[in-house]
Amino acid sequence: MEKLNLLEEKIKAAARLIASLREANAKLSDQYKKLAAENEMLLAENQQTRRIMSELDKLRDERKIIKQKCERLIAKYVKMRI
């Protein structure tokens, strides 16, 4: 009878462990889903940031070209006035 009680306790302990592991698994699954969604959002933001940075670089290059053209025009104007 004692062996039967011992076996019953082991089965109950195993059942508690399984329930605990299932609960932990459910929490981790929820956490994974949240992190995956956050990761997707961050990837999208990263792509948008890269596009904006690329456009900013293009605008800076354009600004540099315009500045050079203005400097040349001013230099020509100054030479004409002299």
Interatomic CA distance for residues 41 and 34, integer angstroms: 11
Question: Can you tell me the mean pLDDT for 60-75?
Answer: 97
Question: Can you tell me the mean pLDDT for 18-35?
Answer: 98
Q: Write down the pTM of the prediction.
A: 0.62
The string of DSSP letters for 15-58 reads: HHHHHHHHHHHHHHHHHHHHHHHHHHHHHHHHHHHHHHHHHHHH
Interatomic CA distance for residues 77 and 63, integer angstroms: 21
Question: Can you tell me the mean pLDDT for 47-51?
Answer: 98
Q: What is the pLDDT of residue 1?
A: 85
